[in-house]
Structure 1
Amino acid sequence: MRWFIILFLLGSIKPLLSQKKLLFTDKSYEEEIRTVQLYPALNTAQDKLKPAVAPINNQNLVLEFDDLIAQRSNYYVRIVHCNYDWTKSSLQDLEFLNDYNEYAITDYDMSINTSVPYIHYYFDVPAVKIPGNYLLVAYRENNQNDILLSKRFMIYTNEVSLSLDGQNQGLGTLRVNNQQLNFKLNYAKVDVVNPMESINIWVRQNQRWDNAQGTIKPSFIREDRRELEYRFFDQSNQFMAGNEFRFVDFRSLNAPGQNTGRLDRIQRPFHLSVLTDRSREGQAYAQYRDMNGNYVIDNRDNRDPSLSGDYVYVTFTLASPPLAGHVHLMGALTDWDHTAASRMNYNSSLRAYEKTLFLKQGWYDYQYWVEGANQNSFQVEGSHFETENLYEVFIYYRPFRPQADLLVGYYQLPANSR
């Protein structure tokens, strides 16, 4: 009862709090806004695992999230157009939208027979006029400063074609723990005067922005063919390949699945302990399927997991001596965050790092990331060129008009696909 009273009081005082600063990234700005997902609705079982990217002629993105203040509020969405580097562009709303830039979230349902009540909200993202980067911002009532969440999404055309380098299908392995993308771009369909300045590229790994590369310039320009070559020999375009993700399965609270430990049913909400993890550094590569750091909401005990899935306190434990940098729990479950929200605490009596998250029933991928000057994120996990990863290449062109970075090419490049 005390827990619900606290949530109610938090909800009632929010309008009195100071204004929140909008960050141009994926973020929840209130503790009660949970399990935020933005995905293309393609009517497949894998929809919610797919990146929030859609072609301009088939814009079908859907936003879903839970509000643990189980009392319906008036929520709205606005859309912000961004430059290729995720700063706000100078475009006016009517240059990229067909309607007034304020959209009410009207679709919602109450949770069903859960120990933690919540409201589940749905929102169909309105279509935009031009390809590019966008930030979806949800807020309370008519106060755009009372922000609930922000999510990035991208709309593209494929006017620039991409072809892989013939060697190793475009993925070089100059080091045993790295992966490198080699490819060519053909811009014959785009009127480009100075491709070195007007074309920009982002490459990201497994839908994460924290290690994405956005300063890549071509190694060769072949103006007679209208081609740009991205083939590097100095390791400047390499990604640490990493390792397959760890996972925990608590889709059922009656018969918890793999890598789950003790489930405390006495306390409400329930408390679940994940089996203790240990460092994989120096171990041989082990192949198994993962979700590249993502998660799936599911409830094996009841139907409609979006509404029947319960929230559980889940404790992750990494047995380890103290490490030089802060250790973070990484994956979509923490929005790939490197802040206090994902930072683990060291328990000297257990000689282990611990972190407890409040998660909805499902299957979650995760890894441990060590903070430091060299961003040695694989000090605990290890890194192997054999690891399966999904790379995305975003190609932006900035014409004279409109003065905006247009996403004129989007391609997915799997590494070690199985």
Structure 2
Amino acid sequence: MNLKYILLSLLFTSTIYSQVATEVAPPDYIKTINFKGNTPESQLPVLRLGEYLELEFDALNGYEDDYYYVIEHYNYDWTPSVLSKIEYMEGFDKQRIRTYENSFNTLQIYSNYKLRIPNQQTRKLKVSGNYMLKIYDDYDELIFSRKFMVYEELANVGVSIKRPRDIKYIQEKQAVNISISSNRLTFNNPKQTVKTVIIQNNNLKTAISGIKPMYTLGNELIYKYDTETSFWAGNEFLWFENKDVRASNTGIQFIDLKELYHNYLYTNIERHNRPYTYNPDINGNYLVTVLDGEDPSIEADYVWMFFSLKIDELPAGKELHVYGNFNNYTTNESTLMTYSSEHGVYKNQLLLKQGFYNYKYVVVGADGSLDEGAISGNFWQTENNYKVLVYYRDLGARYDRIIGLGEASSVNISN
């Protein structure tokens, strides 16, 4: 009987530890989570081993709470790795975030928290791979979590963007070709030991993974797939700027002052049935800025942004959402657009910090499927950013290393 319980306990434990980790969205009072490495324009930290990581966020509850951070290491598939903390980290986590300031000269009070790693407590991340940064409160409750990746420069990753060969999607998709080579590693059984992740516009939720090399040339791995590594091209993001909160800026029709400033955006229209128009964007990202202030972190105010889209009401089972990197490409109740039959438009309002924002409208099905092109369309000319992460676990190794990073823009797309 005791043996039976032991076996059941081991089975239960292994099931727990093999669960795939997902990011936890923050509560309503946590806003503007700015998570980056040494590339400020990117909200998806992919940093070279030894580089720094920065997290910044605002708490709008006015309590000046204490928050603590925990760093965990994961395998390629986001299951927990077998490494102990001492193996992947020099120093300690579970430390309080000590750098915070209260807002200055703003209608919305908030506390701005900043964390930089490495620091005096967490001195170094020792290995490459997938990581999760988790933020807890005083009651040891998980407030939110974010993924980041650390890579080593052990392989050359060539990335090129092509138009698909399938004539059915040649006007709507973009295919990613990859070549991987290394002078420092010998790829043993690469179809099993080498794995890749392809990310479009820093959005992990639409990333393509699990693609194996098509063929090898010596120690070079070639990926020249068509459908397997192709993405919907989408359209350029919509955008607005409200760095001056008291006047209408780009994309803003008019403003109003109540308990906070209200900014009403121009009503958007469907673009999937219109010709492609080049409109420079920052690929879904955002930047906090303020005109009359020196430190946007504490001097930028929060504004109610009113979104509207003029389309017919969607069929039952379909939902319309507004999203971008400002909310980590999340679709939930806060991003849900509601239909006004009186005006024939979908509406929503979001509390956002002053700045420059990219956004788009997406349709979510009853099964949770996401259609980014239903409203904005898919055009092969769209400028998108692509990142390719290369993972390698040699025979007998205990964790998945990230041995290279490749990046390309579809501005150089070719046939």
Deviation at 1:150, TM superposition (A): 0.9
Asked if 1:302 is matched to 2:293, the reply is yes
Q: How does 1:150-299 map to 2 (within 5 A)?
A: 150-164=145-159, 169-174=160-165, 175-222=170-217, 225-233=218-226, 235-265=227-257, 267-299=258-290
1:63 aligns with 2:58: no
Amino acid at match of 2:95: Y
Please give the alpha-carbon distance, in whole angstroms, between the structure 2 residues aligned to 1:213 and 1:293: 18
CA distance in 1, matches of 2:229, 2:38: 33
Contact 1:319 1:353 in 2 (8 A): yes
CA distance in 1, matches of 2:20, 2:208: 19
Equivalent pair of 2:161/2:410 in contact (CA under 8 Å) = no
- 2:337/2:347 contact within 8 Å kept: yes
State which of 31, 50, 55 in structure 1 corresponds to 2:28: 31
1:87 and 1:346, CA in 2 relative to 1: closer, same or farther beyond 3 A? farther
The residue aligned with 2:326 is 333
Q: CA deviation at 1:100?
A: 2.6
Shift of residue 293 of structure 1? 0.6
Structure-2 separation of matches of 1:417 and 1:221:
25
TM-score (norm 2): 0.87
Residues 283-302 of structure 1, C-alpha deviation per residue, up to 9 Å, x if partnerless?
11111210101111011132
The Cα shift of 1:367 comes to 0.5
- Show the counterpart of 2:93: 101
**RMSD of aligned C-alpha atoms?**
2.0
**Aligned AA (1:31):** D
> What displacement does 1:332 show?
1.0
Aligned length: 382
Contact 1:392/1:411 (8 A) holds in 2: yes
Runs of 4+ in structure 1 deviating by more than 4 angstroms, as ranges, are: none
Which residue in 1 is equivalent to 2:386? 391
Kindly state the Cα deviation for residue 183 of structure 1 after the two structures are TM-superposed.
2.0
Go from structure 1 to structure 2 and tell me whether the alpha carbon gap of 1:52 and 1:196 turns closer, same or farther (over 3 Å shift).
same
* 2:212 partner amino acid: K
Alignment-mate amino acid for residue 237 of structure 2: F
1:412 deviation in Å?
1.1
Q: Are 1:354 and 2:358 counterparts?
A: no
Q: CA offsets per residue over residues 71-126 of structure 1, 9 Å max, x none?
A: 32221101011111222222211110112331220011110011111111111123
> Equivalents in 2 of 1:49, 1:331: separation in Å?
12
Is 1:110 aligned with 2:111?
Answer: no
Say if 2:236 and 2:279, in contact at 8 Å, map to a contact too. yes
Q: Do the aligned partners of 2:245 and 2:261 also contact (CA within 8 Å) in 1?
A: no
Q: CA deviation at 1:149?
A: 1.9
**Unaligned segments of structure 2, at least 5 residues:** 1-18, 119-123
Provide the residue aligned with 1:8 in structure 2: none
Give the stretch that moved more between structures: 131-140 or 119-128.
119-128
Local SS of the residue matching 1:341: helix
Could you say which residue in structure 2 is the equivalent of 1:316?
307
Whether the 8 Å CA contact 1:81–1:133 is kept in 2: the answer is: yes
* Alpha-carbon distance in structure 2 between the residues aligned to 1:170 and 1:289: 19
The one-letter amino acid of 1:140's match is D
- Three-state SS of the structure 1 residue aligned to 2:361 is strand
CA spacing shift, 1:63–1:417, aligned 2, 3 Å: farther
Q: 1:122 to 1:23 in 2, by over 3 A?
A: farther
Q: Is the deviation greater in 324-333 or in 334-343?
A: 334-343
Decide whether aligned partners of structure 1 residues 147 and 23 sit closer, same or farther in structure 2, where only a CA change above 3 A counts.
Answer: farther
Judged with a 3 Å threshold, the aligned counterparts in structure 2 of structure 1 residues 110 and 275 are, in CA distance, closer, same or farther, namely same
The offset of 1:264, in angstroms, is 1.5
* Secondary structure of residue in 1 paired with 2:90: coil
Structure 1 position 344 matched with structure 2 position 337 = yes
2:81 aligns with 89
In structure 1, distance between residues paired with 2:105 and 2:175:
49
Between the aligned partners of 1:297 and 1:417, the Cα distance in structure 2 is 29
Whole-angstrom distance in 2 between the partners of 1:23 and 1:296: 31
Q: Is the 8 A contact 1:49 1:296 kept in 2?
A: no
2:131 corresponds to 1:140 = no
Compute the displacement of 1:188 (Å): 4.7
Aligned with 1:77: secondary structure? Answer: strand
- When the two structures are superposed, what TM-score results if normalisation uses the length of structure 1? 0.86
What is the deviation of 1:189? 2.3
Supply the AA of the counterpart residue of 1:255: A
Instruction: Give the equivalent residue in structure 2 for 1:10.
Output: none
Query: Which residue of the other structure, out of 347, 365, 376, is the alignment partner of 1:381?
Result: 376
**Distance in 1 of aligned mates of 2:230 and 2:23:** 24
In structure 2, distance between residues paired with 1:70 and 1:133: 34
CA distance in 1, matches of 2:216, 2:180: 10
The answer as to whether partners of 2:321 and 2:364 remain within 8 angstroms in 1 is: yes
**Alpha-carbon distance in structure 1 between the residues aligned to 2:63 and 2:296:** 20
CA distance in 1, matches of 2:291, 2:376: 30
